[in-house]
Amino acid sequence: MFVHSVGAGDEEKAVKRCLVCKPENQARFAAEINVHFSGLKNIDNPGVLFLPKLVVCLDCGFSRFTTPESELALLARAISPSEMPHDVPQDCA
């Protein structure tokens, strides 16, 4: 398993294989993500901000993170069932 240290401190993180291209060349980063809601009705909505750990494949760029439960609840409350996308991958349904 590839181990890569990123950012301040001496923390090293063991990262699993990339889900897309399969090599073990991944790194963890601190991230700031602000999810915005589409449409004019949400023009004044600041969105939902959270600070996850981001895993990035350094070969293909595929990235992943987990939305914390409290922010996930905010996202779920902010979107109506009619706005739910119909093309959600089967593993997320």
Does residue 28 fall inside a structural domain? yes
Nearest-angstrom CA–CA distance, 4 and 22? 16
Query: Is this structure's pTM higher than 0.85?
Result: no
Tally of domains within the chain: 1
Q: How far apart are CA 14 and CA 8, in angstroms?
A: 16
The answer to whether position 9 is within a domain reads yes
* 89 inside domain: no
pLDDT value of residue 5: 40
Give the domain extent around 69: 3-80
pLDDT per position as a tens digit, 22-75: 878 899 999 999 999 888 988 898 999 999 999 999 999 999 999 999 999 999
Q: DSSP class of residue 76?
A: H
3-state helix, strand, coil in the chain (%, to 5): 20, 25, 55
The three-point CA angle 59-36-60 to 5° equals: 5
Cβ proximity of 39 and 47 under 8 Å: no
Whether 14 is covered by a domain: the verdict is yes
pLDDT-based confidence at 19, cuts 50/70/90?
A: confident
Residue 93 lies in a domain: no
Q: For 24-51, give the DSSP string.
A: S-EEEEE--EEEPPPSGGGTT---EEE-
DSSP state of 14: E
